Amino acid sequence: MNQNIPEKWKSLYDAVLEGNAAAATAAVDAAIEANESPQTLVDEYMIPAMDDVGEKFEQNEYFVPELLISARAMKAALTKIQPLLTASGSQPKGRVALGTVKGDLHDIGKNLVAAMLEGGGFEVIDLGVDVDPDKFIDTARASKVDIIAMSALLTTTMPSMKTTIEALKAAGVRDGLKIMIGGAPITQEFADEIGADAYGDNASTAVSIARSLVAS
Ligand code: B1M
């Protein structure tokens, strides 16, 4: 369990951990009103809360319903924060098709990556969750994307990333774009092994990585 949650907005951490959406959004409102950085709220309170939800799940203290209500509280709080992470104006730096891979329904991290990429000036086509390789291929063809970005949270769905890359190759679209992958179980070694161009370990680094991919 995370023991080092700063007292300042601990009510936000508690609300996400306990799955209290109303308290989570109220805490975000209060923090934003007090000029707290949205990124600090995400990094120091909300993500640690979700990590602790995962730990409680592993210890059989929480079960799937608790995961779901914590996820709902996290999403409610993020709905308030996402527009603040998303900058406006200026020419898009590139177009990214982003999705959680086939078989995987986790979308909180993927949504954060989308918000940060948009905030970093990218146009994001969000393909959602459980994305079939064909959907990535169709989007790459139809929308001339610069980057295919894939998220996975389950060790059992990591192979879907490889399958998608192989399908992009077989469809003849792999060479015209860059591939970035991320998600809790993903590592640089895995990215190298399956032939992805880059691995991002969090939503902030995903933006700098996307920028260097487009520049290269
Ligand atoms: Co699930 N789940 N879950 N779950 N869940 C995990 C992932 C798990 C680690 C929990 C645990 O056991 N500790 C475990 C996986 C174990 C494993 O694979 N080794 C697990 C399991 C087992 C399951 C089920 C199988 C449970 C069951 O049914 N028995 C089931 C699978 C369903 C499916 O997908 N087919 C399941 C279901 C669910 C819910 C639907 C109930 C819910 C998801 C709700 C939703 O997303 N809408 C849920 C939740 C909430 C979690 C935990 C608790 C939290 C995930 C989360 O949102 N984290 C999770 C435990 C954990 O992660 N600590 C767990 C916060 C989020 C901000 O972090 O997504 O890692 P994350 O994203 C980060 C980085 O990874 C990175 O940036 C983000 C921000 O920094 N990142 C990228 C992510 N994608 C990126 C892409 C990039 C770059 C960076 O470039 C493209």
The predicted model gives 35-41 an average pLDDT of 93
| Average of per-residue pLDDT across 34-55 | 92
Closest atom, ligand 1, to C-alpha of 129:
34
Virtual CA dihedral for 56, 60, 64, 70, nearest 10 degrees?
Answer: -20
Q: What is the pLDDT of residues 156-182, one digit of tens each?
A: 999 999 999 999 999 999 999 999 999
- d(Cα 1, Cα 191) in Å, to the nearest integer? 29
For 107-151, write each residue's pLDDT tens digit: 999 998 998 888 778 899 999 999 999 999 999 999 989 999 999
Say what the pLDDT of residue 91 is.
Answer: 63
Q: Determine the Cα–Cα distance for residues 181 and 202; give it in Å rounded to an integer.
A: 10
Query: How far is ligand 1, taken at its centre, from the CA of residue 106, in Å?
Result: 5
Q: Which amino acid is at 105?
A: L
β-partners of residue 126 are 98
Question: What's CA 105's distance to the chain center, in Å?
Answer: 12
**Per-residue model confidence (pLDDT) at position 90:** 54
Per DSSP, 7 falls in state S
- Which of 97, 102, 91, 181 is closest to 142 using CA atoms? 97
Pocket of ligand 1 (CB under 6 A): 47, 50-51, 53-54, 57-58, 64, 67-68, 71, 103-110, 112-113, 149-151, 153-156, 180-185, 200, 202-203, 206
Give residue-wise pLDDT tens across range 62-118: 999 999 999 999 999 999 998 887 754 556 789 999 999 999 999 999 998 998 888
Q: Which of 73, 78, 115, 77 is nearest to 98 (CA)?
A: 115
- Name the residue with the closest Cα to ligand 1, atom 9: 54
Q: Enter the tokens of residue 127.
A: 């393909």
Cα(129)–Cα(114) distance, rounded to whole angstroms?
Answer: 13
Q: Is the pLDDT of residue 2 over 70?
A: no
- Three-class DSSP category at 4: coil
> Which DSSP helix (H) or strand (E) runs through 181?
strand 178-182
pLDDT band at 4 (very low <50, low <70, confident <90, very high): confident
Task: State the pLDDT confidence band at 40, using cuts at 50, 70 and 90.
Answer: very high
Q: Which residue has its alpha carbon closest to ligand 1 atom 45?
A: 106
Neighbours of 134 (CB within 10 A): 12
User: What is the reported pLDDT for 1?
Assistant: 74
Q: What is the pLDDT of residue 82?
A: 84
Q: Which of 26, 124, 5, 9 is nearest to 80 (CA)?
A: 26
